[in-house]
Amino acid sequence: MTKPSVRYLQLLSEKYPTIQAASTAIINHSALLQLPKGTEHFLSDVHGEHEAFKHVIRNGAGAIWRQIEEMFGNMLSKSERRNLATLIYYPELKIPQMLAAVEDPEEWCRLKLVRLIRFCRSLTAKYRRSTVRGFLPCDLVELIDELLYEQEGVEFKSAYYQSQIDTIVSTGSAPIFLTALAELIQRLAVERLHVIGDVYDRGPGAHIIMDLLMEYHQADIQWGNHDIVWMGAAAGSEACMANVIRTSLRYGNLETMENGYGISLIPLASFALETYAEDPCERFIPKVSPGDNFTEQEIRLMAQMQKAVAIIQFKLESQIIKRRPHYGMEDRLLLDSIDYGRGVVAIGGVEYPLLDTFFPTIDPGHPDTLTDEERMVVEKLKLSFVNSRKLQQHARFLYSNGSIYLARDGNLLYHGCVALNENGEFRSFNVDGQSFAGKAFMDRVDRLARQGYFATDNPALKLYGMDAMWFLWCAPMSPLFGKEKMATFERYFLADKATHKEARNPYYQLRDTEETARRILAEFGLDPETGCIINGHVPVKVTKGERPIKANGKLIVIDGGFSRAYQKETGIAGYTLISNSRGLLLAAHQPFESTQKAVSEELDIDSETEIIHTHSHRLRVGDTDRGKEIRKQIDELEALLQAYREGLVKEHSVQ
């Protein structure tokens, strides 16, 4: 380590103003290195399924149930263990229900308090006492801290602790303490959560999931293509905004947009009703299920709105493609390829008849120019997006806690792919005479995505970044998309299903080989011998015999179908990868019915857990990236201590 400068040490002394303060910090940091590595969970492609996501967060992806089985398996019946688990998952709902049903509420409270305290004690072994205290409500910290760190065998102490529990019950405070203990268990069960992309779209509660993530004690996100398009819309990208609206209308999912973010679609509805009044819009009927309870009039309106915004989207995308020729997406200038008189479009030298030829807002001579009415609609919608306080809060959280990829503890996390050629070499992207590939390209687009949101003082830079976010949503070179094209136009307008096919980047075949995984890990500066890639984006079709573990264990795909839309293909309802001090486990989840049933019928998510890897020794904090950072801090503190003793830095006066 390079010796810190005196100026740096003087700044550090502001935080550690005395020899004793620096010494105490060194002692605490050194002890922290010896604690067991915390449990981390990896989830992917939750796609707005907020109830299932919330349940997995509350039950620790099965970790809490496994601990209950271990601690209480020989002393409680299965129904009693289920009851205890439900109490921990949903204390605010389960406690009133149980208190109303039991004969002796006070005795029930005593029993549950003792069991939850015992459970908490077993989980605190991985945490410093100060960390545990930080998870507790301020007004309960002192008492719960006393209960958790009971000194067994010390004379008179048992009566002291029993008196505390009795008083909690007699004062009617038990529900408050039970809730605090249950929430503490949920926090202690998982130290950190990694979401490998795609919080948004499909399901109705992406905004609820984002609220949960913002409240979570430690979470990071590797952006997915469905996240980046919402981030682009929040930044003011008109093309991203049009895609977000069209996708929401296509699946009849307006909950996040309208109720979550307060974005009004009235300007679009008014425009669509007038412009497409006589158009049946059959190609734009939303994909809704009978349980969605939409009226015929609502479905008709959503179809009209979807067609209106789809045409706007194609125009805006054409403008980007012409504005950024280095994207190499000229083959997607389909509005320019239509013969409007004959009703055909030329793609790849082949003409295809259009299933819909009613284009009242397209000028064949200037097909990508918005009409005055379309421009007005776009401007009004953009104001809604950029002025939505909740959306902007969530976008900033995605930027501050997210990235294109994350290298952590020797493993590499990303949503989509690292673009490859057929021969397995990294595909290069050329711009302004420079070539970017592999890690360099992913670093570049990560920076551009931030530029598109934050470069508010430079309109040209901001526009460049916003266009890059649209590129990340749908371009062939996008590490978040990973397909040769997004065939939105073809699916709407062409009958030939061969044109609907979206060929994947060679990565998705080559990632099965250990050689490819090793090459990617090395590209990101990770050890191919010990590292692992954790990937999402493409659902693992378990029903067809696909396995999530690939490349001889060097790559794990954890998109197992959290979204209900994919569960027919996958046969399960998502994966959770669990990394703890002893190894790696993969939990495969069955579908979650509802929170109401989870509480009233005590139904948990059934999960099958597979041990993927067992460490040769129990990992400690010192074995992790966090441990490396702590060691750097210790080195700096030791340098400060030496500077104090040599007189290079003065101690601050202590009042």
Start-end of H helices in 251-295: 266-275
**Of the candidates 31, 218, 36, which has an alpha carbon nearest to the alpha carbon of residue 630?**
31
User: Do 372 and 456 have their domain in common?
Assistant: yes
In this predicted model, what pLDDT tens digit does every residue of 599-633 receive, in sequence order?
877 766 666 777 888 888 999 999 999 999 999 99
In a domain, 247, yes or no: yes
Q: Which amino acid does the sequence have at 534?
A: I
Q: Phi and psi (nearest 5°) for 339? A: -95, 100
Rounded to 5 degrees, φ, ψ at 490 are -65, -40
N- to C-terminal Cα distance for the chain?
34
* Helical (H) or strand (E) element with 73: none
Is the pLDDT assigned to residue 570 strictly greater than 70?
A: no
Instruction: Pick the closest to residue 95 from 109, 81, 107, 82 (CA basis).
Output: 109
Nearest to 500 by CA among 482, 510, 485, 515: 485
Residue 546 lies inside a defined structural domain of this protein = no
| Rounded Cα gap, residues 44 and 48, in angstroms | 11
Q: Which among 189, 212, 246 is the end of a domain?
A: 189
Structural domains in the chain (count): 3
Q: Please check whether residues 183 and 249 belong to one and the same domain.
A: no
Kindly give the pairing relationship between strand 350-353 and strand 402-403.
unpaired
Category of 432 on φ-ψ map: left (φ > 0), alpha (ψ -120 to 50) or beta: left
Q: Is the pLDDT of residue 655 over 60?
A: no
Task: Say if residues 122 and 67 touch (Cβ distance below 8 Å).
Answer: yes
Of the chain, the percentage scoring pLDDT greater than 90 comes to 67
- For 369, the domain range is 220-492
Are 125 and 272 members of one domain?
no
Q: Which of 140-154, 175-189, 286-300, 632-646 has the lowest mean pLDDT?
A: 140-154
Residue where one domain finishes, among candidates 168, 189, 210: 189
When pLDDT is averaged across residues 50-65 and rounded to a whole number, the result is 85
Can you give the pLDDT at residue 611? 83
The answer on 480 and 383 residing in a single domain is yes
Of 559, 591, 609, 416, nearest in space to 44 by CA:
559
Residues 6+ apart with CB under 8 A from 216: 57, 193
Per-residue model confidence as pLDDT tens digits over 456-506: 999 999 999 999 999 999 999 999 999 999 999 999 999 999 999 999 999
**What rounded mean pLDDT belongs to the chain?**
91
Helix (H) or strand (E) holding 294: none
Q: Which of 468, 504, 562 is nearest to 197 (CA)?
A: 562
Q: What H or E segment, with its residue span, contains residue 200?
A: none
Residue 347 in any domain: the answer is yes
Same domain, 277 and 372: yes
Distance between CA atoms of 566 and 577, rounded to whole angstroms?
Answer: 19
Single out the residue in 429, 459, 492 at which a domain terminates. Answer: 492
Token pair recorded at residue 653:
């006066």
